[in-house]
Amino acid sequence: MPEALKDTLFSRAIVHNFAASISSADPAFERSTYLESVLDSGWGALELKARMRRMALCLKPLLPQDYTSALQILRRAAEYFPQSGFASMVFGDFTALYGLEDWDASLPALAQFTCLGSAEYAVRPFILRDQARTLRRTWSASV
């Protein structure tokens, strides 16, 4: 039987690589605490997007409480993350969850993150909040 897509795109190894990228960007990041909270006993039952959401939610208590500082760490971490594709969407998911009040920081970050995979889900809350403002942003590879 083939491996489930959720186990391919969000394998334990990919979660470990993701945590390593955050640690590379921020040596104070509590990598083992993050891995324990993400890969707890319920991980196996989570479906694809629920795994992405868990990875984003578990970042919040371990990054600086100041959103802009946390986002800067994620932007640096994105440069270290060895995978592109669906798993890199965690960066954008964090931005969508916590960045709707800081457009000046969030929109350039989403432009960077979309180059790794996609920010199509992450940009939607911004479009819903203010479509004209979101669409004025140049969504190109140059950040």
User: Domain residue spans in the chain?
Assistant: 5-136
Place of tokens 């945590």: 19
**Which of these, 11, 91, 86, 12, lies nearest to 59 by C-alpha position?**
91
Confidence at residue 13, expressed as pLDDT on a 0 to 100 scale: 94
**φ/ψ (deg, to 5) at 84:** -115, 175
Confidence at residue 143, expressed as pLDDT on a 0 to 100 scale: 46
pTM, two decimals, is 0.92
Listed as ranges, residues in the chain with pLDDT below 50 are 143
DSSP characters over 58-96? HHGGGS-SSHHHHHHHHHHHHHH----SGGGHHHHHHHH
Confidence at residue 124, expressed as pLDDT on a 0 to 100 scale: 94
Confidence at residue 140, expressed as pLDDT on a 0 to 100 scale: 55
Confidence at residue 138, expressed as pLDDT on a 0 to 100 scale: 66
Confidence at residue 10, expressed as pLDDT on a 0 to 100 scale: 92
Residue 2 DSSP one-character state: P
E strand segments, the chain: none
